[in-house]
Amino acid sequence: MSRKKSRNNLLSGIIVVMSIAVIAVWQFYLFVTFKNINGIVDVQGGIQHLWWAIGFGLLACTAAFLFFSVFLRYDRNDEMHITSPPPRRSLS
């Protein structure tokens, strides 16, 4: 893979993970600042925002894990395979 393509993939992966994390933070902010009809902060009313925040947070963590596991792996061509010689046959 060329360096330019690798950089583009790296940059796009970081942008995707950061976007998902920003959505999770935004949903949590909406949960914390949720107000009822009277304008009073109501923690119980914005429970959907909390669930969305948890979902997007888990999605961001999963995407980051998969992203780093793909881009930080060792080069497959540099693997060293250690094999032993075949067992000797007895002449009995």
pLDDT over 90 percentage in the chain: 33
User: 16-24: long-range contacts at Cβ-Cβ below 8 A with a sequence spacing of 24 or more?
Assistant: 16/63, 16/67, 17/60, 17/63, 17/64, 17/67, 20/56, 20/59, 20/60, 20/63, 21/56, 21/57, 21/60, 23/56, 24/52, 24/53, 24/55, 24/56, 24/57, 24/59, 24/60
The pLDDT of residue 68: 82
**Per-residue model confidence as pLDDT tens digits over 62-75:** 999 988 887 776 55
Q: Please tell me the pTM assigned to this model.
A: 0.68
**Per-residue model confidence as pLDDT tens digits over 19-57:** 999 999 999 998 888 887 787 777 677 889 899 999 999
Delimit the domains of the chain by residue range.
Answer: 3-71
